[in-house]
Structure 1
Amino acid sequence: MATQTDPNQVRLTGENQYMRLHEEDGGPMTTRCGHWRVLLSPAGPGHVMFLRSDVTDDQVRIYADSSALVRWLQQEIVTSGEFSDQTIDITTARFSRMGDTQSFWTETVETASEHIMLTWRDFIEPFVIIVPVGSDPNRPLGWSSVFVPAQSAQLSLNGKVAVGRPFPEQRADRLSSTAGLALSETWLRPV
């Protein structure tokens, strides 16, 4: 077997769990969440959660155990959209995980006054998604990840459950979901 290496520069590797909930298929998002568990980046390892939901009164919130990682993500990867504003306050939080891809996966985010739980379940067949470096003219970075789509997902803040649910969506030729796990996610920059 021939060994190959990727000539591009590794910028990040870790996980990026995602949750986009809607009350009806194609309707407005009631919750949008990106939960990052970063193992390697120029800003070091850490956890970051970007959140906007009915349980936050549609206000964007950022939770992290590394402010430097938040700002680096906003400069390099989360560079557009509602989570890219670098003036948004960062709430210091503790992060933990339990479960697996066989039954359920729960991420817990805790602050001095908030307890947030995100749970994914009813997983469908995982697949690898690859976005080659330079394939998007608006972004030089490329990435790859193992997607584990979830048919059910729930987010709660201090016991209040967010409205909405995930819906099926296509990713090229594979059935996916608006909520799931993105494991072994690696971002690359051209050298």
Structure 2
Amino acid sequence: MSNPSVLPGKVAWTGDNPFIYLKEDPAADFTSLSVFFRINASPFGIGQAALVVVRPYDEDGYGIVLTDNDSLTNYLIDEFVSKFVLFRPCSFMDKLEIISDADFKTIREGDDWIEEAHSGDRSIRLIWRDLGTPFAVDVPGPESGTGQHEMFSVFRIAQAGEVFLDGERLPGNTVQRDFLNGPGQSAGMAISETWVEV
């Protein structure tokens, strides 16, 4: 029987990191990119952040983040989100509107999962519909979103997703795309996700 091993790399962060990517035209670019973070350990402590980028590839695109830990949020955006393949072409990732002191709420309704964030009159509501069977992945450093971290996670792909910004539903729907274990919709839960420096 083999003994368990301890990985040598430094843990960059661990927590949940679900996503919802929407398109108005399935044949065109994504029209909004949304991610949520619930971080349980990192160099900048614990915290939560909800990020929505609207028209990510247009000159008039914009992004908003609601968070309860500014330092952690800046770290996640600079070192991770801005390096994820769909976010790399966004020219305004360093100009996101970051709103502090947000309150967060998680709602579970059967196989649906809802994350809400509020700060003053600003709000983000993310909904994942009909989550699928969990599966685990181990993504080596060269193939991960940053190319510098090994990533471990449990995923549950949703059959649909919705994004509300300040009470208004963003247009578009999830689309089928190639994912780690085959085709799946462009929305899902990444649960117990951990990024380890390589």
TM-score normalised to structure 2 length:
0.83
Could you report, residue by residue, the CA deviation over 1:141-175 in whole angstroms, capped at 9, with x for unpaired residues?
Answer: 12111111111111112331111111122224433
Q: CA deviation at 1:184?
A: 0.7
Structure 1 residue aligned with 2:13: 12
**Secondary structure of 1:73 counterpart:** helix
Task: Name 2:182's counterpart in structure 1.
Answer: 174
Q: What is the alpha-carbon distance in structure 2 between the residues aligned to residue 150 and residue 136 of structure 1? A: 21
Matched with 1:115 is 123
Q: Determine whether 1:67 maps to 2:70.
A: yes
Q: 1:142 aligns with which of 133, 150, 154?
A: 150
Cα RMSD for the two superposed structures: 2.4
Q: Normalising by structure 1, what TM-score?
A: 0.86
**Correspondence for 1:151:** 159
For residues 90 and 163 of structure 1, the distance between their equivalents in structure 2, rounded to whole angstroms, comes to: 22
The answer to whether the 8 Å contact 1:115/1:158 transfers is yes
Structure 1 Cα separation of the partners of residues 96 and 166 of structure 2: 21
CA offset at residue 137 of structure 1? 11
CA distance in 2, matches of 1:173, 1:137: 16
Q: Percent identity?
A: 26
Q: Deviations over 1:80-106 (max 9, x none)?
A: 333884443410121111106x42100
Aligned mates of 1:161, 1:137 — CA distance in 2: 28
Following superposition, the deviation at residue 134 of structure 1 comes to 4.4
Regions of 4+ moved over 4 Å: 134-138
Distance 2:188 2:17 in 1: 9
Rate the CA distance shift 1:136–1:155 in 2: closer, same or farther, 3 A: closer
1:94 to 2:94 alignment: no
